[in-house]
Each structure stands twice: as structure tokens, then as C-alpha cells.
Amino acid sequence: MAALSVQRAKARIAIAFVLLFVVAAALSVGVYYLGKLQENIASQESRMALEAINNAASIDEALARYPSNRFLKLMAMATTAALETSAASEKLSREIEPPALSRGITLAAASRGDLEALRRDLKIAETNATTFMPRYLALLKAERDRLENYALSLNMEKNVASRFMQDVDRRHAEIAAVISKMLAARAEYYRAYDKCVAALLAEFGIYKVTNGQFIFPIQYMADRYNVAANAMASAAQRATELEQARKILAQPALKGWEQIAGGG
């Protein structure tokens, strides 16, 4: 009888192991198909986002058609955040110059006191142009943190969220590079402007103004002023071109969002 009991106990243990194996296998299959279902849902959501982007005039219009689509929500937030960062950057750019300098001055009609005050403002503007980069970078970081937190709140798939943040980082790196060059061009502009004003102060009361043009009695005086004026114009053009490039980069590229949604 004891031997029979031992055999029965062994049989129950064997059956238990078999059942445990069956349950584990069933759970594994269930997890596998659940993962596949989630992938299919994500793929379908991606296709819906791509279709909405291709057929809509704007992200907002696409989101109105598919208000629960996470990809479109993320794109809408990215667009809004980029525009707000761009507006903040433009405001910061205006703060580089003291108010009097921003209003402008007619050099031909300026007094000695006006020219001296102008030089002081130009020195301030040049200093600001060479020290404001960290403030621009802080704006980009705030945008990045905002987008990363929003992507997490949407429970985006890890690979999608990763591609999204990589795209944000790439765009921000390009913007930062342009801003750095723009600030350098503006600093160069203020230095050249200051040299123009310094040339006028050095010859104040000697030069004449005819039809808005400076007439110097000696050629080297004219050459000194013209060299500075040409450098000033060249730097101003570069700064303007770089500012336009920054504004373009500040706009999220639609194709970039398509690639993120489509897994490209």
C-alpha cells in the first residue's frame, strides 16, 4: 500500500508539472499574440496618421478628423512648441539691441553727443550678441523637455518615441548651429558699425554731408569710413540670411513626421 501511495504521489507531481508547462506555454502564446495585436494596432494608427497628413491641409485639420490619433497629437504639439520657441527666439533677438539702437539714427544728422551715445549702445549690443547663446539653448531645451514629457504621456511605442526625440535633437542641433552663426554675424555687424561711428567722431566737424552722403576732405578718411561701412553691410546681410534660415528650421518638416509615423 505504501508503494502504491508513493506511485500516486509521483503521478500527481508529474501531472502538476505537465499542467504548469501547458499554462506557461499558453501564457507565452497569449503574450506573443498580444504583442502582435499591439503592433497591428500601432501599424494601423500609423497608416491613419499618414493618410490624414497626406490628405489634410494642416496638422490641426488632420487631428480634427482623427482626434484620438496619438501620432497626430504628437505632431500637433511639436508644431505648437516649435512656433512658440521661434516666437520666443525672435523676442530674445530683439533684446540684443538697446531700445535707442533699435529705433535707429540718421548718422548724417547726428551730433557728437548722438554718436558717442550710439557707440555705447553698439558696445552693449555686441556684448549681448556674444553672450546670448546660452539663453537660446535654454529655449531649445525647454521645448525638448516639453515634447519628451508629452510623448511619454501619450504612451507612445518606444521605437516611435525614440525616433521622434532623435528628430527633435537633430532639428535643434541645426537651429543651434544657425543661431551661433547669426549671433557671430550680428556681433561683427555691431563692431563694423562702431568703426563707422568712430571714423565720424574722429573727423567730426571736418567732413561735410551732401544729399545724405559724407564728403571727406582727405581720401584716407573716406577709405577708413567706406571699409567699415562695407563690412557693416556685409555682416548685416549675413545676419538677415541666417535669421531667415533659423525661422525655416524652426518649422517642423512634415516629411520628418511622416517618416516617424511610418517607421522610416
At residue 213, the pLDDT reads: 84
The number of folded domains in the chain is 1
Whether residue 140 lies inside any domain: the answer is: yes
Better-predicted residue by pLDDT, 229 or 126: 126
Whether residue 3 lies inside any domain: the answer is: no
Helices 70-95 + 254-262 axis angle, to 10: 150
What does the pLDDT average to over 235-258?
79
At residue 262, the pLDDT reads: 57
> Is the pLDDT score of 30 beyond 90?
no
Rounding to the nearest 10 degrees, give the CA dihedral for residues 243, 249, 252, 256.
Answer: 170
d(CA 85, CA 93): 12
Whether residue 41 lies inside any domain: the answer is: no
What does the pLDDT average to over 104-117?
90
What is the pLDDT confidence band of residue 47, given thresholds at 50, 70 and 90? Answer: low
Better-predicted residue by pLDDT, 25 or 203: 203
Whether residue 95 lies inside any domain: the answer is: yes
Give kind and range of the element (H or E) at residue 190: helix 158-202
Q: Which three cell numbers stand for residue 117?
A: 551715445
What is the pLDDT confidence band of residue 127, given thresholds at 50, 70 and 90? Answer: very high
Better-predicted residue by pLDDT, 214 or 193: 193
Give kind and range of the element (H or E) at residue 208: strand 208-210
At residue 53, the pLDDT reads: 60
For 44-53, 81-90, 246-255, which range has the lowest pLDDT when averaged over its residues?
44-53
Using DSSP, state whether 68 is helix, strand or coil.
Answer: coil
Better-predicted residue by pLDDT, 193 or 211: 193
Q: Is the pTM of this model over 0.85?
A: no
What does the pLDDT average to over 183-202?
94
> Is the pLDDT score of 178 beyond 80?
yes
Rounding to the nearest 10 degrees, give the CA dihedral for residues 187, 190, 191, 196.
Answer: 160
- Percentage of the chain beyond pLDDT 70 is 73
The range of the structural domain enclosing residue 190 comes to 70-262
Better-predicted residue by pLDDT, 152 or 14: 152
Look over the chain and give the mean of its residue pLDDT values, rounded to a whole number: 79
Give kind and range of the element (H or E) at residue 132: none
> Is the pLDDT score of 74 beyond 60?
yes
Whether residue 22 lies inside any domain: the answer is: no
Whether residue 75 lies inside any domain: the answer is: yes
At residue 79, the pLDDT reads: 86
What is the pLDDT confidence band of residue 75, given thresholds at 50, 70 and 90? Answer: confident
Whether residue 19 lies inside any domain: the answer is: no
d(CA 253, CA 81): 13
Please give the single-letter amino acid code of residue 238: R
Better-predicted residue by pLDDT, 161 or 113: 113
Of 65, 45, 23, give the one whose Cα is nearest residue 260. 45
Whether residue 235 lies inside any domain: the answer is: yes
